[in-house]
Amino acid sequence: MSLAARVSDPTSHPRLVSLIDHARSRPPLSAAVVFPNDEISLRAAMSSLMAGSMKPTLYGNKRVIESLARDHEAINDIAIVDTGSEPREAARAAVSAVRRGEHTALMKGSLHTDELLQAVLDRDEGVRTQRRLTHTFVFDLPGYHKLLAVTDAVVNIAPDIETKADALANAIDVMRTLGVARPKAAVVAAVEVENPAIAATVDAARLCELAATGRFGDAIVEGPLGFDNAISAEAARIKGINSSVAGDPDVLLVPGLNAGNILYKSLIYLGAGECAGIVQGARVPIVLTSRADSEFSRLASAALASIMASQAM
Amino acid sequence: MSLAARVSDPTSHPRLVSLIDHARSRPPLSAAVVFPNDEISLRAAMSSLMAGSMKPTLYGNKRVIESLARDHEAINDIAIVDTGSEPREAARAAVSAVRRGEHTALMKGSLHTDELLQAVLDRDEGVRTQRRLTHTFVFDLPGYHKLLAVTDAVVNIAPDIETKADALANAIDVMRTLGVARPKAAVVAAVEVENPAIAATVDAARLCELAATGRFGDAIVEGPLGFDNAISAEAARIKGINSSVAGDPDVLLVPGLNAGNILYKSLIYLGAGECAGIVQGARVPIVLTSRADSEFSRLASAALASIMASQAM
């Protein structure tokens, strides 16, 4: 059976290949896979984690997992924690193990994202931090000259200013960890001028003020910018925008889930892009998976989680 | 001086080339150009309209226009209506002429879009119809197998259900005029399941109900769909979505301005797309222009306006 919707050509995405190679060059870390109780999530987790320098421990229904994996020799070397047939129990057990320091990353199996994130966010038993949970994609795009982080295209539906600030901080952390000393972030909206009728433009101005107070460390935050003048210095020049971020951002903060999600899928399906994605804001990075992800994308996500986890240790 | 931000290779966009050729094959129609009082908007309007089978009449400051155009012989064959130095007066005069049936299209010059649309929408002196003003792009994308309309990425910030219905009806009209007997429309959102926390998904379900009542004529409307399963039949299959629109839409309705605007710019700047765009819902099509548009895109927009105008006569 095929796990991947799209067959990706890694030669088109050399920057993500480098990221994967970088993760592989490090000693393996331990990741908890939460409820990999169908063949897609089980095989995806095993192959991507192991290839991406993560040692998986599986939390789920042991009998089902062993049945699903009976043809794969690798299963004999993988720890399985039997948490029965209830996905929430697998999430609770995996998160508890993370609390005890047993794992440095989480990966979603065949449970709903909400079920996993609820366990992560539990006030008594979870692995919350001061920051909200936000999702960051790191894109390798044939039409752009370097890796580009996009946040938040997956988790927060209508982020308020504090959630946007955390999303920005989390994505800036990623790019800093990937070697960008002073990340440039563009807060994008439909237009590049502040307009009270478009809340995203007002939030953008506020985020620039927060940046000036040092909230994001050594980073340059500008906005509102249109997607055109964020991504193209020439488009910014024509519109008379004087910006050191325009045409060269490391991070794009989008206005909300609809805009971000549609953008991310357009970059994959019509922009020939590939991406790695993680949820940040918990004590450890979390890898979500979608059935439509390519194998390459799964591998890149595991590698990104591994790099972020090792940096946090 | 260069008018265009991007140099487009027409061989990459054969469907829009066909559309332009189609417009050229018809007798020229008359378009009112509103306040082309800077060099960019004047030259763009003249060249794109005349090449796209529209005969321009210029409304603006005659002295300034003649001064700007003194090196262009073509200006001698073009009617100029002197409306002085006030952009709103140019808009009022051009819209009045449209009311009298003198022109079959409007094109924005160097005034603000709002100033033009206010004149169009004036209850006494404007050219309103029963439908709201909505914007439609028609994209030619190297990564998609046919022309694809996207609405509304320009005019309506946070469209309510009635505005979305009009946007859908307007875009379906465009694709029908371009030869699609039974247009397929996908109402896209962040997710493909109805979720009360994501209003766009609820609106999508309601729009499908409206389609069932015949609101959009002979058309197939489905949603909510994610951008992935709207654009890719394979992504829809993996997610178990049974849809005759998935992978084959003629029209995408986006949730709102931020999502649509970011999508459209990503399709141009990272998806190598080109597009024609018009505002519908007035008695005649309206061409907006942006300084960052390519020449090819201006030409395609004028051609689309010409085709829509001749169909309405």
B188: three-class secondary structure by DSSP: strand
Question: Nearest-CA distance from A3 to chain B in Å?
Answer: 9
Torsion angle defined by CA atoms of residues A286, A290, A294 and A299, in that order, rounded to the nearest 10 degrees: 20
Please check whether residue A291 touches B, CB under 8 A: yes
Element (H, E) at B57: strand B54-60
Question: Using an 8 Å Cβ cutoff, are A285 and A279 in contact?
Answer: yes
Give residues with Cβ within 8 angstroms of B123, minimum separation 6: none
DSSP code of residue B306: H
CA–CA gap between residue B91 and residue B125 (Å, rounded): 11
- How much is the ipTM here? 0.92
B223: three-class secondary structure by DSSP: strand
- pLDDT tens column, B245-270: 999 999 999 999 999 999 999 999 99
DSSP code of residue B139: E
CA–CA gap between residue B115 and residue B108 (Å, rounded): 10
Nearest by CB: A190 against B239, B261, B272: B261
Helices (runs of H) and strands (runs of E) counted in chain B: 11, 11
**pLDDT at residue A44, rounded to an integer:** 79
Task: Check CB contact under 8 Å for B231 and A141.
Answer: no
Task: Look up tokens 């993370």; give the residue.
Answer: A98
If phi over 0 gives left and psi between -120 and 50 gives alpha, with beta otherwise, what is residue B263? alpha
Rg (CA), chain A: 19
Question: Nearest-CA distance from A167 to chain B in Å?
Answer: 18
**pLDDT at residue B5, rounded to an integer:** 47
CA–CA gap between residue A153 and residue A174 (Å, rounded): 15
Q: Which residues of A touch B232 (CB under 8 A)?
A: 5, 269
- Find the residue in B nearest to A188 (Cα): B262
Question: Nearest-CA distance from A236 to chain B in Å?
Answer: 9
Question: Using an 8 Å Cβ cutoff, are B268 and B167 in contact?
Answer: no
Per-residue pLDDT of chain B (313 residues; tens, 9 = 90+): 333 445 566 678 999 999 999 999 988 889 999 999 998 888 878 877 777 678 899 999 999 999 998 877 777 788 999 999 999 999 999 999 999 999 999 999 999 999 999 999 999 999 999 999 999 999 999 999 999 999 999 999 999 999 999 999 999 999 999 999 999 999 999 999 999 999 999 999 999 999 999 999 999 999 999 999 999 999 999 888 989 999 999 999 999 999 999 999 999 999 999 999 999 999 999 999 787 788 899 899 999 999 999 886 5
Q: Which residues of B touch A291 (CB under 8 A)?
A: 238-239
* Token digits of residue A170: 């989390």
Q: Which residues of B touch A268 (CB under 8 A)?
A: 228
Q: How far is CA B24 from CA B42, B51, B89, B307, in A?
A: 21, 7, 31, 9
**pLDDT at residue B2, rounded to an integer:** 35
At B55, give phi and psi (nearest 5°).
Answer: -100, 115
Please check whether residue B51 touches A, CB under 8 A: no
Task: Check CB contact under 8 Å for A267 and B266.
Answer: yes
Q: In this structure, are strands B274-280 and B134-140 parallel, antiparallel, or unpaired?
A: antiparallel
- Find the residue in B nearest to A144 (Cα): B270
Give residues with Cβ within 8 angstroms of A176, minimum separation 6: A183, A217, A219
Per-run averaged pLDDT (10 residues), chain A, 313 residues: 50 92 90 92 80 87 92 82 97 98 95 96 96 98 96 97 98 98 98 95 98 97 96 91 95 98 96 96 93 86 93 69
CB atoms within 10 A of CB A184: 21
User: Nearest Cα to B24, choosing from B51, B56, B45?
Assistant: B51
Q: How far is CA B55 from CA A110, B50, B72, in A?
A: 61, 6, 16
Give residues with Cβ within 8 angstroms of B85, minimum separation 6: B37, B61, B64
The amino acid at B93: A
**Number of residues assigned to chain B:** 313
Please check whether residue B310 touches A, CB under 8 A: no
Please check whether residue A202 touches B, CB under 8 A: no
Question: Nearest-CA distance from A8 to chain B in Å?
Answer: 14
**pLDDT at residue B70, rounded to an integer:** 83
Give residues with Cβ within 8 angstroms of B258, minimum separation 6: A189, A190, A198, A200, A254, A255, A256, A258, A259
- Find the residue in A nearest to B154 (Cα): A190
Strands (E), A102-219: 105-108, 134-140, 148-151, 184-188
**pLDDT at residue B100, rounded to an integer:** 97
Question: Nearest-CA distance from A101 to chain B in Å?
Answer: 34
- Find the residue in B nearest to A140 (Cα): B270
Q: How far is CA B262 from CA A177, B23, B154, in A?
A: 27, 29, 10
Nearest by CB: B227 against A226, A257, A265: A265
Q: Is the pTM of this model over 0.90?
A: yes
Q: Which residues of B touch A13 (CB under 8 A)?
A: none
Task: Check CB contact under 8 Å for B265 and A226.
Answer: yes
Element (H, E) at A152: none
Question: Nearest-CA distance from A312 to chain B in Å?
Answer: 31
* Token digits of residue B139: 């994209």
Please check whether residue B254 touches A, CB under 8 A: yes
Q: Which residues of B touch A114 (CB under 8 A)?
A: none
**pLDDT at residue A125, rounded to an integer:** 96
Nearest by CB: B267 against A234, A254, A266: A266
Task: Classify burial at A242, counting beta carbons within 10 Å of its beta carbon; exposed 0-12, middle 13-18, buried 19 or more.
Answer: exposed
Interface test with B, best of A139, A227, A293 (most B CBs within 10 A): A227
Report H helices in A220-256.
Answer: 227-231, 233-238
